Each structure stands twice: as structure tokens, then as C-alpha cells.
Structure 1
Amino acid sequence: MDLVRIRPRWGLFARLLTASMLVAVCAVAATTWLAVTGTSRAIRTQQGQSLRDDTRVYDTLIEYAATHTDWGGVQDLVVDLAERTGRAVTVTTAARTRIAGSEPHVRLPYRPTALLDPLRLDPVLSDAGPIDPRAVGPFLLPARDREKLRVTADRIASCLRGRGVAADVTTLPSGRPAIRPSLADGSVTCAAHLLWKPVPLERLPLAQVNELATDCMKRRGREGVKVNVDFSWSLMGKGPEDSDRAAQECVTEARREQLGSYVSPPVLLFVGDRDGPDTSGFHLSTENVTRIAGAAVLVLAVAAAVTTLVGRRLVRPLRSLIRAAEHPADETVRVPVTTRDEIGRLAAAFNDLTDRRERLEQQRKSLVGDVAHELRTPLTNMRSWLEAGQDGLTPVDGDLLALLLEEAVLLQHIIDDLRDLAAADARTLVLHREPLYVRDLLEQVVSAHRGTADPAGVELRIETAERLEADADRMRLRQMVSNLVCNAIRHTPGGGRVVLRARREGGDLVAEVADSGAGIDPADLGSVFDRFWRADKSRSRQTGGSGLGLAIVRKLAEAHGGSVSVESKPGAGSVFTVRLPQ
């Protein structure tokens, strides 16, 4: 019976996701409604702390810190910023000691708006880089140097414009002119590099930056770095992959160390509403709190209802599976397949497993019956002869012993065959592969069966190359061929023949045993390799054998990774083929 395949539709995951999305939509809708109708005033209050005003206050005070060595004269600037922005501005030390403020009495919030440090800019409020460009320190040029560099910059810009390159001269906070945009094309011909040649005043501080940056690099186990007057840099040697990052960090730290005495020390900035100490959060009224609580209860109720509905629909088929699984093992129970999702597929798989277990149980009962029948026959014969001898009905002589030995040998043969099949079923059959000559093995099989074939008038013949080699378990390969030859001799009448052939076909060893016997009915070909199957339906043992030989051949071939097949026509004989990969 084939496994029932159910095409998934609206799987368990999709249903759970849909339910979760429904709950989320309800929650978002409720939150949006509350935000619009219940907290409008609180939102307007918080929006009053605009990022633009905070940025303007921050940038102005950073400029002051970059151009002053202390905060002694910042009070007037703080008051002016407060008037222009309508915000309460307070500057304190790290210990929250007041330095300057626009309001005489204001309670500071827990978290400051920003840290005022021109050497460590806040990336949220400024995009100028790690160090404020207005912190120039010893690189501030006097008027004479500015004028000389300005003349050079104007000449280079005129040259670039004459070559079709847009160029404008701007002045940096240090007083040094620069050309914007900065282009590499035309720089050499217009001698743009002269603009960045250090003037005498810049050489000493530039050398200090180079020394500090190089020391930092060496502490990290890397080569030195050369810093230019525009604070660009280049590595002095080849280093690890992260050398560029290390160089940038060292140059930045060197500049901070050099500029530390030229700028104001770091302080805390607090910007807030002039009407209160802290407007960073909502201050809801009792009415708004009640509305929020009611909406939350509503959302929870909807979520609980949806979850309960979906959960019951999901649990119902699972409970059916549990009840079916709890039935006694000797009862066959199937569950209805009501959905096409993962649970439906599980139910179908459960039913398929039940069908397979039922078939295996039937096979087990049939196998037990066959084994009992096969063992009963020799045991019954032995008991009958022994009782006859005991009662004096049959003389206890050599003939009786010979009969008993024959039945014992048959019984041992059945037991050995069952043991081999059990080992193959349990995958504990151990193979000892070795190189061998196939013809030598076939000759051994023929010699072993001469005693059976010659009295029966059956000719045994070998057709194979002399030096055909194979890699297989010698004993098991001989057992396979021997079982096939024994089967062929039993079913071949006197005057017939059994031919053993072997050859290489692709990468496989192909061994064939062909007979000129009565053949097999086409309806029985599918059962030839089943255990205890015989063409003789009466089980009279007229043809002998335990009914396990061909089943053992199939198991041994599969253990080698190969297969066995049969071709037969009634009255034209049979050909059994073993194919083993090499």
C-alpha cells in the first residue's frame, strides 16, 4: 500500500502566523488610536524638544569649547541660546556642579542631553567626525602665512578652472585655504600639492602628531604612520588587515593628546523645557490612563478569543491521534484525515504506519506458521522412527540411524538458513571481501554438487573466462551460487543440464545459473525469493529443500550491495542472475 501524500495547504505555521498578525494588527490599531486621541498634548510637549534646537545649542557650545581653554565666559552665550531656542540650557561638570545656566533654579533630568567635548563629538548631533574641525590648537596660522597660502590657492584654482575643472577656494578653521572640490585630476600639472606643504609654524606640531601616532602604532605591534598637514595619513610599511583602522585610531588619539590643553575640558549639557525639569516622557491624565487600560483589556480579550479558537481547532485532530495511539496494540485503529496541513499529513502517516504494522503482523504470523511447519516435519519423522525402535517395531540398525541422521541434517540446514536470514535482517551479517578467481569458485561448487547431479542425470557445465577476477566474500558468494545450483538440480529432469556463467558487465560482476527444467509460472515470479515459497503448493517435499535458499541468495546479494533476478518461461527453464558491484 502506497504512502498517502497530502499536498499542504494553509499549514500550521501559516495559521499561527495569521492569528499572530491579526492580534498584532489589533494592538497596532489600538495603540495608534490612543496615540492620536489620548496623548496629543504629551506628544506636542515632547516634540517641543526638537532635534534642530538641540543641535544648534550643541554646535554653538562645541565651537566655544574648541576655541577656548575653559568655560569661564560661557554664561552669556548660554543665556543667549536659551532666548533664541526657548529652551532651558544648563552646563555642568561631570559631577553635575553647575557652570552656567539660563534658569536660576532648575532640576536636572537623570540623563544629560549630550557630552560637550570638542575632541569627542556626539555622532547623533554632529557629523563633523570624531574631532571638531574648529579645534585647531597649534595649527592656527598667522595672517602672513594665510595670505601666502591664499595666493597659492588662487593660482591653483585658476589653473584648474582653465582646464575645465570647477574649483573654489575656501578657508579652513585654522586659516589654511583649501580647494573644493578636492580632485585628483590635474593636481600634478597645477602643482596642487604645494598648497598642503607645511609652513614653518606647522612643522613642529605636525612632527609631534607624527611622533605620538607612530608610538601608538608601535605599541600595537605595527609599523609607523605618516600624518600630513591636512591630517590624512599613510602607513609606513605593510601590516595586518586591520592596520588601516589602527592607524586612524592612533592618528585621532594623537590629535586628542596634542589638543587637550588648547580646548575646554568635557562638561555635561542639559537642554529641557523651561516649564519643567524633564519632558522626556508622557505625563498622562487619569482619563487617559483609564482609556489605555480599557484598550489593553480589549486587545487581550481579542487575543484570547482568537488564540482559543485556533487552539481548539489545532488540538482536536491531535486528540484523535492520542486516542488512537492509546488503543491496545492488538487493535487496528485509524484516524480521520480532516485537514490538509501538517496535522493532516501526520494523521495520514499514522494511518499508513497502522497499515504497515498490520501487514507486518500478518507476515509474522505466516512466518511463524511456516517455521513451525518446516521444523515439525523432520522432528515428527525422527520421533516416529525412535518410538518405533523403542517399541520394537523397527530394528535399531544402520538404516534407522541413517534415516535419523538425514532428518537431523535437514533440521540443522533449516536452522542455519534461518540464522543467516536473521543476521541479514538485523544488518549484522559481516562480509570478508577478498580478491578471488570466479572460475575456481564455480568449479568448487560444481564439484560439491556432482554427487547430487550425476545420480539425477543432470549435466553441470561452466562457461566463464579462466582469469575472471572479483572482489567479494568467498564463502558467501559460494553460498549464493551453491543455493542456485541446488535449486536448479532439483527442478531439472534427467537428461537436462545446469550451466554456470560469469562475466564482467560495466563495473559489475554478473553470475548466472541457467537450467533446462520445467520453468516457473509467470504469476509466481514475484514470489520466488519469498521465504518458504515453493512451486510445489502441496508442501510434500518431493523436490526437497527448506524453502529458504532463494531468500538467502537475495539477502546475501543485497549485503554485497547487489541484486538477484530471475527470468523463466514454463517448459523453457529458468535463468537466475546475481549482479554484484565491484
Structure 2
Amino acid sequence: MTRSLVVRLLGTSVLIVVLSVGAAAWLAAKTATRAVQQEQSQSLAGDSLIHDTLLGYAAEHRDWTDVAPLVRRLAAESGRQITVTTTGGTVIAASNPGAPVPARADAVIDPLGATIDPRVVGPYRLTGRDQARQHALAEKRLRCLHDQGFKATAEETPAGRLVVKLAADNRLQRHDCSFREDAPTTGERAALDKLQDRVTICLKGRLLSEISFYTTDFVPIHRDPTNVGNSQAIQDCIDRGRREQLRPYVAGPARLYLTSPPRQPVPVFDLSPDSTRRIAVVTALVLAVAVATTLVVGLRLVRPLRKLTAAVDGAANRPAPVRITRNDEIGRLAAAFNALADRSEHSEQQRRTMVDDIAHELRSPLTNIRNWLTAGQDGLADLDQDMVRLLLEETALLQHIVDDLADLADADAGTLALTLGDHAVGDLLAQACEAHRGTTLTVGGDPWAVVDPIRFRQIVGNLLTNAWRHTPADGRVEVRADVTDGLLVVDVADTGEGIAAADLPHVFDRFWRADRARARATGGSGLGLSIARKLAQAHGGDITVVSTLGEGSTFTVRLPARPDQPAR
């Protein structure tokens, strides 16, 4: 059962359902957590808005006298309880009067705290006349910049000043609008002079030189080079002077308390028996659907597999094709199985043909030997020297066929033994051509190759035997050798009868003859070319053939040349 595909699919589906339920639970928990975090973020954003609004009120008013309406409005908009007290604990305003004040304040409202709020203006607020003049100058500069193609905008500060700001990509470019709108007005200059007096007193106490302010940005001009290395001390004096100057214009420091109104607690998750029962029912339904789907799909998958198994088990000698028409993995498996059956049938046919050919090739010489020996035994023929020579020739033919078959068997099994060595190709070819008188040999250069000399001569000898067998007496056979692109190329060309184009794919098949009517004496055993090609492949090369019917054939052997052999 554990090896059944249906059981595996069923187990996989159950596992998927369990993981799906777990993932759904995890997702629900994460979603709830995210919702809680989002609600907390919104709450923090609302608290920050309340603090900033009250900070702005303190920056623009000298006291907290009229802050109660603002506190009630903020409480109604945010749903929070807001209480503002002095630093001593006296309640200034409360959205829910009479409610207890928490022990710890959520924030301190002080526009002149660690950072001076930019909304604190004090004596630097422009008068109506000064504001009109400054705005006119700023708008004039803005038009000038626009006329010259510069990108610029104008923003109004809390003090009523209009500030022209260049775009980031125009700040370093030169323009002709040299007049500035940031020069202090009369009122601002008076306030800056008073600030400078306060700062000067502080600087003298720290043994630093006097500084001056040219704009309302409160950026000092260091007249004395000794002040450059004391920028932090100078900035502390400026901040201290500004706080002293602006303190009369802002409300005093206050404490802010924020609380949530009491609510009826609501449980986050309801795990009552009914809810638990619903979850169990839904999970069981999902599991049942998954199991049923898996069974249906599994049976559909197993049915063609069982058909394939039956086809294999029912085949006595070879697998029989099955009819399965599916466009999926099982369909492709069935197609591969049918292709295997076809290849098996083809291989069986080739095996029968080869056995028949071998039996035919061995039958004739064995029959001759047996007939002559029987005739000699019966006294019908004399076993003289001519008879012995004839019997030896038939025996040699049998031995030749057996040796060829043994070579082919070793080559097919990959056990063909080669005694490789570094040899001069010209010498080996000369020895092979010596056994076939009339052959013309042409060797380019002095090629060397790592070959088995006996097997190499056997390759060339088989090709020469085949060439002379199909070449008339007045024809010629030529052997050419050279090294090209790191390969030893040996061509065996003849001017014989040639091979038809339809027969070229079969010339290296075993026991194949172009003319079936040829006898062994004229057509050979049909193994020579097959052996030559197997031997070439065992050397890491191959043999190809080009032929024209009636004009001749050229067999080309290509083998790896010696690595240091120069190419021509």
C-alpha cells in the first residue's frame, strides 16, 4: 500500500489540506496583528497631530487662556481624552473635566524647548507696510527669475515674509536677479539688534568675539577668524538669546495627557463551542473534498499505468504496443513504450537477418569441406596435394569470417584491444599498399599519428580490398594522406563502378552487398567495411564515403593526428 500511487496522492492531499489550514490560521493571526499595528500607528499619528496643534497654539499665543475650545474640538475629532496642565500640575483645559489625570504626561508642550518652533515669530512679525514692501520685492525677483528661464517658487513664512526658493537643478546656475528679498525690514532690524546685544553678552562671557546678523535666518557672520572653531558655543549663545527674546510672546510650558475613554472590552477571538464546531465541520468538508478529488485523479492516473503493466507482463518475448491517447506525462510514457516496442521489433528483425547471413556465409565452406572429405572417405576422390590445398583455402575462409565476427563483437562490446604507439603514417600506408600491387600512394609531408599499426593497416587494407574488388583491370586505385585541422585524413579513391545514392547509407552494414548476386569470391563476406569503420571509431575517428555511380568511390578515414603534428 505504501508504494501505491493512489496512497501517495492521498497522503499528499491530506498533507496539503493540513498545511492549508495551518497557513490560513497563520494568515489570520498575521492579519489581526497587522490590523492592531495599523490601529496603533493611526493612534500615534493622531496623538502627534494633537501635540503639534497645541504646540502651534502655544507658539502663536502669549498664554493658554482660550485653549479650551481647541482641546474639546481635538478630543471630538480623535476620540481621545485630552488634558493640558501647567508644569506644576494645575489643569489648564480638559476635554472631560473631573476625570483623573494620569501619573505620567505623554508630552511637554513648549515651543521654545530643545528646538525652537518655526511658528514662534514674536517681534519678527512684519507690519502691514513692511510686509507689502517685502512681498513686492520678492514677487519682482520671482518674475525676474521666471523671465530668465529659472524654476522658482515663493513661500510665506509664519512671520509674513515671502521667500523665493530656486529649484534644486537651478541653484548653482548664475542669473542677473542680484537684488534680494531677504534683507531685514526696519522692525526686523530692531529685533535683530536686540538679539545681537543678548548674544554679545553671552559671547563675552565665553571669551568670544562679537558677531552680526545680516538676515532673519539667524545665521551669524564671523568677523573674527577665532570664532570659526567655536561654532557650537556661538550657536548655543544664539539659541539662548532667541529664547530669552521670544519667551514673552509664547505661552508657558505645559504638560499634555492623552487617554482613551473607557470602552466595553471586546474579545479578539470567539472560541466558543459553536465556533469550534463550525471550524471542525469546515475542515472536515475540505478534507473530504480533497480525498474524493485525489481518489478520482489517482484512479484516472493509475488506469493507463495498469494497462502498460499488463502489456509488459503479457508480452512473451517482446513488449506489445498499447493504445493510450493522452497528452500528458502518461501519454508520453506510452509513446516511449510503443517506440521501445518498435525498436525491439526492428532489433529482432536485424538479429534474425544477421543469424541468417552468418549461417549462409559459414554453410558454403563447411559444405565444401564436408563433401570433399566424404568423397575421399568413400574413395570417390583422391586426397592429394591439390585437394588438401582446396580444403585449406576453405578453412582459411572460415577462419577469416570467424575472426571478422570476433572483431565486430569486441568492437560492439567496447573491448577491442588496441596497441597504440607513435608511428609514421607513410610507412604504414606503404606496407598496406604493398599487398595490393598497382595502388598509387601520395603522402603530404611526413604525418605521424598515435595508432595501432596492425589495426591501422587492417583499416586501409579492407578499404583497398573493397576498392580493387569493384575496379576493373584498366582502372586505378589511389591512396592519399595528409594532416588537416589536427586530423589525419586518408583517402582511398578508385575509378570503379561506384555506388548508387540509394545504397550509400548501407555500405557499412554487416553482410551487405550492393549486388546480391555476387559470390564470396567476387563480393566478399560483407564484413570488411563494417570492421574498418569500427576500427576507425575505436581510434577516435570515423570513415565516410562519397561515390558517383559509374565513376568511382572515395572512402575517407579521419583519425586524430599527433598533437604536435604541423597542419598543412
TM-score when normalising by structure 2: 0.53
Partner Cα separation in structure 2 for residue 319 and residue 296 of structure 1: 34
- Helix, strand or coil: the match of 1:411? helix
Equivalent residues of 1:424, 1:556 under 8 A apart? no
Match 2:339 to one of 352, 372, 381: 352
Residue in structure 1 matching 2:530, options 529, 551, 555? 551
Query: Within 5 Å, which residues of 2 pair with 1:466-505?
Result: 467=445, 473=451, 475=453, 478-492=457-471, 495-502=473-480
1:183 corresponds in structure 2 to: 168
The CA deviation string for residues 406-435 of structure 1, in whole angstroms up to 9 with x for no partner, is 835852664256325632664978796979
Alignment partner, residue 324 of structure 1: 311
Given that 2:444 and 2:481 are in contact with CA atoms closer than 8 Å, whether structure 1 keeps it comes out as no
Q: C-alpha separation between the residues in 2 aligned to 1:48 and 1:371? A: 89
Q: In 1, Cα distance between the equivalents of 2:351 and 2:232?
A: 94
Residue deviations 1:214-272, cap 9 Å, x none? xxxxxxxxxxxxxxxxxxxxxxxxxxxxxxxxxxxxxxxxxxxxxxxxxxxxxxx997x
Distance in 2 separating the partners of 1:177 and 1:204? 33
The one-letter code of the counterpart of 2:547 is: E
Q: How does 1:167-246 map to 2 (within 5 A)?
A: 167-169=153-155, 183-186=168-171, 198-199=219-220
Which of the residues 322, 339, 342 maps onto 1:335? 322
Gaps of 5+ in 2: 1-8, 57-67, 84-94, 101-105, 183-214, 234-257, 561-568
Q: Which deviations, in whole Å up to 9, do the C-alpha atoms of 1:296-325 show, x marking residues without a partner?
A: 555555554444434433332233223334
2:435 is paired with a residue whose SS is helix
Change (3 A) 1:86 1:350: same
Name whichever of 197-206 and 523-532 sits farther off: 197-206
1:86 maps to which of 79, 94, 97: 79
- Matched with 1:511 is 491
Unaligned runs of 5+ in 1: 1-15, 36-41, 67-75, 91-100, 106-115, 119-133, 209-268, 451-458
1:102-117 equivalence runs, <5 A: none
Letter in 2 for 1:355: D
**Could you say which residue in structure 2 is the equivalent of 1:97?**
none
**What number of residue pairs does the alignment pair up?**
430
Residues 147-189 of structure 1 deviation map (CA, whole Å, 9 limit, x = unaligned): 89x99x987786345312443346599x999866753415665
- Structure 2 counterpart SS, 1:575: strand
Residues 507-553 of structure 1: CA deviation (Å, up to 9, x unaligned): 68471331546x66777555332112245757963337443111123
Aligned partners of 1:86, 1:172: CA distance in 2, in Å? 30
Match of residue 159, structure 1, among 128, 131, 141: 141
Distance 1:415 1:307 in 2: 61
Amino acid at match of 1:502: R
Secondary structure class of the residue paired with 2:351: helix
Find the residue that maps to 2:522 and give its secondary structure: coil
What is the deviation of 1:291? 5.8
CA contact (8 A) 2:533 2:543 kept: yes
Distance 2:406 2:548 in 1: 27
Distance of aligned partners of 1:428 and 1:400 in 2 relative to their CA distance in 1, 3 Å threshold: closer
Change (3 A) 1:490 1:48: closer
Question: Partner of 2:319: helix, strand, or coil?
Answer: coil
Q: Which amino acid aligns with 2:145?
A: R
Render the CA deviation track for 1:16-73: whole Å, top value 9, x for unaligned: 9xxx9xx99xx9xxx9xxx9xxxxxx9xx9999597555313554699999xxxxxxx
Instruction: Name the aligned partner's letter for residue 334 of structure 2.
Output: A
Alignment partner of 2:47 out of 57, 62, 87: 57
Q: C-alpha separation between the residues in 2 aligned to 1:549 and 1:398?
A: 29
Q: Percent identity?
A: 35
Equivalent position amino acid for 2:477 in 1: V
Partner of 1:511: helix, strand, or coil? Answer: strand
Is contact 1:483-1:553 (8 Å) kept? yes
Aligned with residue 137 of structure 1, among 91, 105, 114: 114
> What secondary structure, in the 3-state scheme, does the structure 2 residue paired with 1:497 have?
coil
RMSD: 6.6
Partner Cα separation in structure 1 for residue 72 and residue 416 of structure 2: 92
The Cα of 1:354 is off from its aligned counterpart by 1.3
Change (3 A) 1:434 1:47: closer
Secondary structure in 1 matching 2:327: coil
Write out per-residue CA displacement over residues 191-220 of structure 1, whole angstroms, 9 at most, x where no aligned residue. 899898854899999769xxxxxxxxxxxx
Aligned to 2:411: 423
Distance 1:290 1:409, change over 3 A: same
Structure 1 distance, partners of 2:462, 2:416, is 21
SS at match of 1:367: helix
Cα–Cα, structure 1 residues 172 and 430, in superposed 2: closer, same or farther, change >3 Å? Answer: farther
1:407 equivalent among 395, 419, 435: 395
Rate the CA distance shift 1:88–1:412 in 2: closer, same or farther, 3 A: farther
Aligned to 2:547: 567
**Could you tell me which residue of structure 1 aligns to residue 65 of structure 2?**
none
Distance in 2 (alpha carbons) for counterparts of 1:488 and 1:398: 30
* Structure 1 residue aligned with 2:90: none
Q: Which residue of 1 aligns with 2:198?
A: none
**Cα offset for 1:356?**
0.6
State the SS of the aligned residue for 2:532. helix
Contact 1:385 1:404 (8 Å CA) reproduced: no
Which protein, 1 or 2, shows the higher relative CO under an 8 Å CA cutoff with sep ≥ 6? 1
CA distance 1:203–1:182, change in 2 (3 Å):
farther
TM-score (ref. length: structure 1)? 0.52
The alpha carbon displacement at 1:342 in A equals 3.3
* Larger-Rg structure: 2
Whole-Å Cα distance in 2 between the matches of residues 432 and 487 of structure 1? 25
Residue type matched to 2:114 in 1? G
| Preserved contact between residue 499 and residue 552 of structure 2 (Cα < 8 Å) | yes
Letter in 2 for 1:57: D
Distance 1:491 1:203, change over 3 A: same
- Return the offset for 1:352: 0.7
